[in-house]
Amino acid sequence: MKIGFIGLGIMGKPMAKNILKAGYDLTVNNRSQPAVAELVAAGAKHAENLEIGATCDVVFTMLPNSPQVRSVVLGEGGLAQAMRPGSVLIDSSSINPLASKEIAAALSAKGVEMLDAPVSGGEPGAINGTLSFMVGGKQSVFERCKPLLETMGASMVLCGDVGAGNTTKLANQVVVACNIQAVAEALTLAQMAGVDPHLVLEAIKGGLAGSAVMNAKGPMMMEGNDKPGFKIDLHIKDLNNALDCAHSVGAPLPMTASVQELLQWLHNNNCGQCDHSAIAKYYEQLTGIRIGR
């Protein structure tokens, strides 16, 4: 089975490396060539998108947002022009579910299958092969591609038809964003009340308040570590998609709208490329303290 992978960013590069480690024949492409060179050095081949579409049985895309996925798949020189009937596109980008359905319909007209399969787990999960895949598409296609997903993830759940994967990812991103905001508020409260936030985190993480978000992002806030596992600008993109989806179906998302304003403030203050745990900087600006320091 020949696999293609387009989009070798923070998430895509380690995901592609794990496909290689599993022994698959892999061809890659990316706008930035150093990432391509790194994958080629690890054993992959390089080709342009049309050639990847024409020669690969399954093609992964891991791109920033809906317009980029549309362009790579449906644009001039895009995958749809070359993919063979029976081949599969697996889009692991986090995009608007309506865009996923649009792209799937265009591919279906050419006999090409599609799964929308965004992930959760951040860069550490991508490196360690422990991502969670939230998948939309046909059961038969999911079962055929599941061994591939297992090279990169520890969990993969078929959530419904195409579009369901990205709807689930939007729900995931809402929970993560609101959780990060809550952690930053709670640790700010602790420090301003004279209690060591390191001890507060240690005391509460084993109880009901504990979460993977708290365990991962609380220490980063207290260390002032802004190295991105997931960038604020990307989280803004995901929450914009969540709010757009919510407006289209009439779902109320007041907490999401609130945390989106905080993230937008951070973007406007030169923090867009920081990890989303840098939401703590918003509270530091308000209070004049630095959590845990």
How far apart (Å, rounded) are the C-alpha atoms in residues 158 and 136? 6
Question: DSSP states of 204-262 as a string?
Answer: HTTSTT--HHHHHHHHHHHHT----SSBHHHHHHHHHHHHHHHHHHT---HHHHHHHHH
CB atoms within 10 A of CB 270: 8
Domains of the chain: 2-161 (3.40.50.720), 167-287 (1.10.1040.10)
List, as own/partner pairs, every contact residues 25-33 make where C-beta atoms lie below 8 angstroms and the sequence separation is at least 24, other chains included.
25/1, 27/2, 27/3, 27/51, 27/52, 27/55, 27/56, 28/4, 29/4, 29/5, 30/6, 32/8
How far apart (Å, rounded) are the C-alpha atoms in residues 241 and 96? 5
The answer to whether 272 touches 225, Cβ cutoff 8 Å, is no
Q: Summarize pLDDT for 25-58 with one digit per residue, the tens.
A: 999 999 989 999 999 999 999 999 999 999 999 9
Q: Which of 169, 231, 237, 281 is flagged as catalytic?
A: 169
Q: Is 140 exposed, middle or buried (0-12, 13-18, 19+ CB in 10 A)?
A: exposed
- What percent of the chain is predicted at pLDDT more than 90? 95
CA-CA distances (angstroms) from residue 191 to 180, 197, 208, 284, 292? 17, 6, 21, 11, 7
Residue 181: per-residue pLDDT:
97
Residue 229: per-residue pLDDT:
81
Residue 226: per-residue pLDDT:
93
Residue 211: per-residue pLDDT:
94
Q: Decide which of 32 and 148 is more confident.
A: 148
Contacts of 76 (CB under 8 A, 6+ apart): none
Query: What global pTM score does this model have?
Result: 0.88
Q: How confident is the model at residue 122 (pLDDT cuts 50, 70, 90)?
A: confident
Q: Residue 144 pLDDT > 90, yes or no?
A: yes
Q: Is 138 in the active site? A: no
Amino acid at 97: P
Amino acid at 61: T
Q: Summarize pLDDT for 55-108 with one digit per residue, the tens.
A: 999 999 999 999 999 999 999 989 999 999 999 999 999 999 999 999 999 999
